[in-house]
């Protein structure tokens, strides 16, 4: 039996992560948030797709009208903060491809794990996922942008919360 190289350990870890959105078992609002973020990423990768328009359309369909615009802006802030923090590109699945959109990239898995950790208040998990997501770079802006999205998603889950209150919490 041979010793495992670091790449073997990495591959073993990646095999343990969910490979599809369905396998990840995200709540419907988290799946919607992922798709909105994918559309924003697509608008930068393929400008003629007008992915940002699709992102806002989905935000209006998936979340209450009183929070949907803010959720779209929060998705843009997440993408911008990631692009300024990461050294490498962010791997995302094409939201317009029926087959591709069912998959979950390793980067998307980290992003959604960070969102889940923020929702549950797991401090050490927040830091761990943010560090991996930001490739060891400064993660504060990414965490703040994700916290804003998390707070705004609470508007949809708890009608008594207003977008103004949710933004003030971030």
What are the backbone dihedrals phi and psi of residue 165, each rounded to the nearest 5 degrees, phi first? -65, -40
Cα–Cα distances in angstroms (integers) from residue 154 to residues 38, 118, 139, in the given order: 20, 12, 22
pLDDT for residue 21:
94
- Residuewise pLDDT in 10s, the chain (170 residues): 333 333 333 444 445 677 999 999 999 999 999 999 999 999 999 999 999 999 999 999 998 777 899 999 999 999 999 999 999 999 999 999 999 999 999 999 999 999 999 999 999 999 999 999 999 999 999 999 999 999 999 887 666 555 565 566 55
pLDDT at 138: 93
Would you list the domain boundaries of the chain?
Answer: 23-169
75 touches 36 (CB < 8 A)? yes
Instruction: Let me know: does 109 contact 17? Beta carbons within 8 Å.
Output: yes
């Amino acid at each position: 039996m041979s010793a495992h190289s670091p790449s073997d350990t990495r591959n073993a870890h990646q095999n343990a992560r969910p490979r599809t959105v369905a396998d990840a078992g995200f709540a419907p609002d988290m799946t919607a948030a992922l798709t909105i973020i994918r559309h924003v990423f697509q608008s930068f990768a393929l400008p003629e797709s007008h992915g940002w328009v699709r992102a806002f359309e989905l935000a209006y369909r998936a979340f209450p009208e009183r929070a949907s615009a803010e959720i779209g802006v929060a998705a843009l802030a997440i993408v911008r903060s990631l692009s300024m923090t990461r050294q490498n590109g962010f791997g995302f699945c094409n939201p317009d491809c029926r087959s591709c959109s069912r998959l979950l990239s390793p980067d998307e898995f980290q992003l959604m794990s960070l969102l889940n950790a923020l929702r549950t208040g797991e401090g050490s998990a927040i830091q761990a996922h943010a560090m991996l997501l930001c490739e060891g770079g400064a993660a504060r802006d990414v965490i703040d942008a994700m916290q804003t999205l998390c707070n705004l998603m609470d508007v949809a889950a708890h009608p008594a919360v207003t977008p103004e209150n949710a933004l003030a919490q971030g």
